[in-house]
Structure 1
């Protein structure tokens, strides 16, 4: 019986560890309450330089934080609603895992710096389809992470929209896996077997 309890404890610990993993589909409940706020703070900042001047960007990043991130992408605040739409049927398609890709390309600034020094290596305008991790916060599917698009990927016209039209705002994806079933059985044995 002690071995069974040890096995049940190990499985419960494994399941607890899984709760920190990213969602396996877009528009599921977020495990990170500040995800959208952090996304906006990193990528849709007010007051970003309007030029591609390295000195202006170095001063901006030094004054506003971000020297620890070697690549940063900045979207225009006027595009906030369009960016949020990427996490909906209106503006995005499912890309993979919890990622959505925009139906339309966006123009944004990409800044590459020397990590930890704020020294700027390059500043350029990019026009690409946005790839965003989308999760449900406050009953709305919102972007929580900006994923790079180095291959200039485009949306697949056959892919589903990022929100399931059957359920409205989000489509939680609950999977009954063998690990779930096994852990439920073991917990039941521990409770009723004692």
Structure 2
């Protein structure tokens, strides 16, 4: 599976910070059934790797690891069953390690220099992060102009209200968001929010 396959599987990738509030299998089943099969489990909690292992067994789920900061985390995520890796930034060591594996890789960028370093490694699909505080859609449009073959997955500060505008941008393949899975939401409410997200046009 390539990163392009991952980015084309759904318009929105839920960015999940799992702290034990929901059973990971039930959560994955809810999101997949709602039409959001790509699930980014951030490595921000002690439960993350176990959640990746459990969610990877859910039929139809494409589970990856987010907030991957170094090679060690990449290898741990791969062993847990992650099919793609998302990093908040782009570093030489992590990029070399990711390219050497068979995992789809989506590094974070926020500047033209970041993109150029990624292009040197043969990458042209990036997470634009943090999207809103890095300039949002105007910044994406400015960056897309000199980098015509680059496509982005903006993440960070995007809401259900702003999501359609991002998805309407030609340089945006998909977006990452956490609004459909927030603390205190029931699985039924998550399913509803996920169905709305899955129906967004791009």
The bucket for the TM-score relative to the shorter chain is under 0.3
Question: When you count helix as a share of all residues, which structure comes out higher?
Answer: 2
**So what's the TM-score if we normalise by structure 2?**
0.24
Q: Highest Rg: 1 or 2?
A: 1
Greater RCO structure (CA 8 Å; 6+ sep) = 1
**So what's the TM-score if we normalise by structure 1?**
0.25
Question: When you count strand as a share of all residues, which structure comes out higher?
Answer: 1
